[in-house]
Amino acid sequence: MSLPTWPDGIGPTKAEPDITARVLEASLGDGYTQTTGDGLNAISATYNISWALLTKAELAVYTDFLAAQGGYSPFLWTSPLESAPRQWKCKSWKPVPLGGGWHSLSCTFTESFDL
């Protein structure tokens, strides 16, 4: 099964990553600890992304794509820090009319490790 790809278009105004490493830690006494990564995908990312000025048509391309995924289906997106796409999900997005025919959009992409 091939995954849908985030639509090409205007690059985001802001794409801030929050990268987290899940770590298992055991306290052994006398101040000693033993740590290891939690699973195969112990490092994951979340991106807070926003577009400042979109036309109504541009906004519709992105919001229609997000609605089609329903918040649970992964899609491919290439972050500004990387050259290859990875799987993401987006459960929430916020379109805002700015007036004068302009809109903004903010959303959160969470890395997905679905099969």
Provide the pLDDT for residue 74: 97
pLDDT higher than threshold 80 for residue 1: no
* Separation between Cα atoms, residue 13 and residue 105, nearest integer Å: 10
Q: Where are the domains of the chain?
A: 16-111
Q: What is the mean pLDDT of residues 54-73?
A: 96
pLDDT higher than threshold 90 for residue 115: no
pLDDT tens digits for range 30-62? 989 999 999 999 999 999 999 999 999 999 999
Query: With contact defined as beta carbons under 8 Å apart, do 79 and 86 qualify?
Result: yes
Q: What is the mean pLDDT of residues 64-78?
A: 97
- Please state the pTM of the whole predicted model: 0.87
